[in-house]
Amino acid sequence: MLVKTKVNGEWRTADVWPGASLLYMLREHLGLPGSKNACEQGECGSCSVWLDGELVCSCLVLAAQAHEREVRTVEALATAEGLHPVQEAFVEAGAVQCGFCTPGLIVAVTDLLARDPHPSESSVREHLSGNVCRCTGYVKILDAVRLAADRMGESRA
Ligand code: FES
Ligand code: FES
């Protein structure tokens, strides 16, 4: 079946199996491997993207459900000017080890800071509770969120 979706600002069409996930369409049909496939069961958040502005696990969404809708992926965050502040903060805080969880976390943190520029520690933990990291122990990830919030707050001031 043909699925037409606006992905990172550009209308794209893919000819997918009716049971294909949005994650599979992004990675295998549209050449966007940033969203990771770690569990394919909605448990780890590595595949997080925005669908019409809402954070979803793209492994749990059918590609067909994205027809005529708008998807934004981690690939949309960096620009020609450089990395997104959340990406920079993850690098600076040392919040990346194997990196497999990182795109999903970057998307989730960006989503959180867009809704709540100065989240409490408990809001951060709650918002990231669906993102599993096997490497870092989360301390550096929480450092990165604080750093990104401070930097983005400064640039808004
Ligand atoms: S791959 Fe989608 S939640 Fe783990
Ligand atoms: S850095 Fe390896 S899973 Fe998070």
Give the CA dihedral 131, 5, 76, 40, nearest 10 degrees: 20
Superfamily of segment(s) 85-156: [2Fe-2S]-binding domain (1.10.150.120)
**Is residue 53 over pLDDT 90?**
yes
Q: Which CATH number fits domain 2-76: 3.40.50.300, 3.30.300.30, 3.10.20.30, 3.10.580.10?
A: 3.10.20.30
> 154 C-alpha vs ligand 1 centroid, how far in Å?
33
Q: What proportion of the chain, given as a percentage, has pLDDT over 70? A: 99
Q: How many Å apart are CA 124 and CA 141, to the nearest integer?
A: 10
Interior CA angle at 50 toward 82 and 42, to 5°? 115
The Cα–Cα gap between 10 and 50 comes to 14
Predicted TM-score (pTM) of the model is: 0.96
Q: Report whether pLDDT(155) > 90.
A: no
**CA 47–ligand 1 middle distance (angstroms):** 5
pLDDT at residue 154 tops 90: no
